[in-house]
Structure 1
Amino acid sequence: MLNIEIETIWRFHKEGSPQTAVVMLGILNEIRKTGKLTSAADHAQLSYRHVWNLVEQWSEFFGVPLVETQRGKGTTLTPFGEKLVWAGERMQARLGPQLENLAQELATEVKPFLHQRPSVIRVHASHGFAVSKLRELLDREPGIGVDLRYVSNQHSLESLAQGACDLSGVHLPRGELRAQNIQAYREWLDPREDRVISFVTREMGLMVKRGNPLKISSLEDLVARKARFVNRDHDSGTRLLFNQLLALHKIDEAKINGAQQIEFTHAAVAAYVASDMADVSFGVEAAARQFGLDFVRLLTEDYFFVCRRAFLETEPVQRVIDIMKGQEFRDAIASLPGYVETRSGSVSTVKEFLESVEGDEPVKRGAKASLPK
Structure 2
Amino acid sequence: MKSRLFNIRLSFEITENKSEGFFLLKNDLISLLDAIQRTGSIKAAAEVLGYSFRHIWNELNKWEDELGQPLVIRSRGKNAELSPLAEQLLWTNKEVEAKYKEQIIELQSGISYSFRKAFNSAWDPIVIEGCADSALNLLRRTTDCEIELNFTTSRKGLEALRGGKCELAGFNFPKSSSNNSKAFETFGHLFAHGK
Same fold per superposition (TM over 0.5) = yes
> SS at 1:24's partner residue?
helix
Question: How much has 1:89 moved relative to structure 2?
Answer: 3.1
> SS at 1:65's partner residue?
coil
Aligned equivalent of 2:84, options 53, 76, 79:
79
The corresponding residue for 2:142 is 137
The corresponding residue for 2:71 is 66
Question: How many residues of Structure 1 are paired with residues of Structure 2 in the alignment?
Answer: 168
Q: Which amino acid aligns with 1:189?
A: F
Q: Tell which has more relative contact order, 1 or 2 (C-alpha 8 A, sep 6+).
A: 1
The corresponding residue for 1:110 is 118
**What is the alpha-carbon distance in structure 2 between the residues aligned to residue 54 and residue 172 of structure 1?**
49
Q: Which amino acid aligns with 2:188?
A: R
Q: Contact (CA 8 Å) 1:125, 1:153: kept in 2 or not?
A: yes
Answer 1 or 2: which has greater helix percent: 2
Question: How much has 1:118 moved relative to structure 2?
Answer: 4.1
Q: Deviations over 1:60-91 (max 9, x none)?
A: 22221011134665222212112322333344
The corresponding residue for 1:54 is 59
Question: Aligned in 2, Cα 1:120/1:60: closer, same or farther, shift over 3 Å?
Answer: same
**What is the alpha-carbon distance in structure 2 between the residues aligned to residue 67 and residue 37 of structure 1?**
9
Q: Contact (CA 8 Å) 2:137, 2:149: kept in 1 or not?
A: no
Q: Which amino acid aligns with 2:71?
A: L
**What is the alpha-carbon distance in structure 2 between the residues aligned to residue 85 and residue 152 of structure 1?**
31
Question: Aligned in 2, Cα 1:159/1:36: closer, same or farther, shift over 3 Å?
Answer: farther
The corresponding residue for 1:163 is 164
Q: Which amino acid aligns with 1:88?
A: N
Q: Contact (CA 8 Å) 1:123, 1:165: kept in 2 or not?
A: yes
The corresponding residue for 2:190 is 188
Question: Aligned in 2, Cα 1:34/1:49: closer, same or farther, shift over 3 Å?
Answer: same
Report matched runs for 1:349-368 at 5 Å.
none
Aligned equivalent of 2:133, options 112, 128, 131:
128
Report matched runs for 1:1-373 at 5 Å.
4=14, 23-70=28-75, 74-93=79-98, 94=100, 95-107=103-115, 109-111=117-119, 113=121, 117-138=122-143, 141=144, 144-174=145-175, 178-179=177-178, 180=181, 182-183=183-184, 184-190=186-192
Question: Aligned in 2, Cα 1:52/1:167: closer, same or farther, shift over 3 Å?
Answer: same
Q: Contact (CA 8 Å) 1:41, 1:47: kept in 2 or not?
A: yes
Q: Scaled by the length of structure 2, what TM-score is found?
A: 0.68
Query: Percent identity, aligned pairs only?
Result: 24
> SS at 2:74's partner residue?
strand
Q: Contact (CA 8 Å) 1:104, 1:149: kept in 2 or not?
A: no
Question: How much has 1:58 moved relative to structure 2?
Answer: 1.0
Q: Contact (CA 8 Å) 1:120, 1:146: kept in 2 or not?
A: yes
Answer 1 or 2: which has greater strand percent: 1
> SS at 2:135's partner residue?
helix
**What is the alpha-carbon distance in structure 2 between the residues aligned to residue 112 and residue 130 of structure 1?**
25
| RMSD of aligned alpha carbons | 3.2
- Consecutive unaligned residues of structure 1, counting only runs of 5 or more, are 11-22, 194-373
**What is the alpha-carbon distance in structure 1 between the residues aligned to residue 35 and residue 177 of structure 2?**
42
